[in-house]
């Protein structure tokens, strides 16, 4: 394990028990080795992004303190998605659970499996709001 870093992870769901999937993901992330949740934004409903017709999302951002490396965390998050029934068939398609590493400490990562900061951050107002809530502690 590396030194502990603060990581911002976006959670989203638009199929089935959306709130239940977010709760399941938070519990699973909190149980990861060397990891704890240090902040949670409010949960908000957002319109879907992309060309595929689908229902609205529930979204949330959590701040994790972790000793996992970026790729170890990515692997764990993908396992959590899989456990929630996530099937990757269509980019920006509907999903039971989507977990994205938005920022990982001050790191910049550019490889085929992981890009940090997340390239969609400038285009997602709800992520920016949620990050702001976490950074300022302005969570009711």
Among this protein's residues, is 106 annotated catalytic?
no
Decide: 10 and 127 in contact? Cβ < 8 Å. Answer: yes
Among this protein's residues, is 110 annotated catalytic?
no
Catalytic residue among 26, 88, 98, 107: 98
Catalytic residue among 4, 100, 110, 125: 100
Catalytic residue among 95, 106, 124, 125: 95
Among this protein's residues, is 124 annotated catalytic?
no
Among this protein's residues, is 98 annotated catalytic?
yes
Closest CA to 64 of 95, 35, 22, 27: 35
Catalytic residue among 18, 26, 36, 86: 86
Decide: 62 and 8 in contact? Cβ < 8 Å. Answer: yes
100 — phi, psi (to 5°)? -120, 130
What is the set of active-site residues?
86, 95, 98, 100
């Amino acid at each position: 394990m590396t030194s502990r870093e603060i990581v911002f992870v976006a959670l989203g769901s638009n199929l089935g028990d959306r709130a239940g999937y977010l709760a399941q993901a938070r519990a699973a992330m909190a149980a990861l080795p060397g990891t704890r949740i240090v902040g949670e934004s409010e949960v908000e409903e957002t319109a879907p992004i992309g060309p595929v017709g689908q229902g609205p999302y529930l979204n949330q951002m959590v701040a994790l303190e972790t000793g996992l490396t970026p790729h170890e965390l990515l692997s764990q998050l993908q396992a959590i998605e899989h456990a929630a029934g996530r099937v990757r068939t269509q980019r920006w398609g509907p999903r039971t659970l989507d977990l994205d590493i938005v920022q990982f400490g001050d790191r910049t990562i550019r490889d085929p499996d992981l890009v940090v900061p997340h390239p969609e951050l400038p285009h997602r107002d709800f992520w920016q709001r949620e990050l702001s809530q976490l950074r300022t502690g302005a969570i009711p």
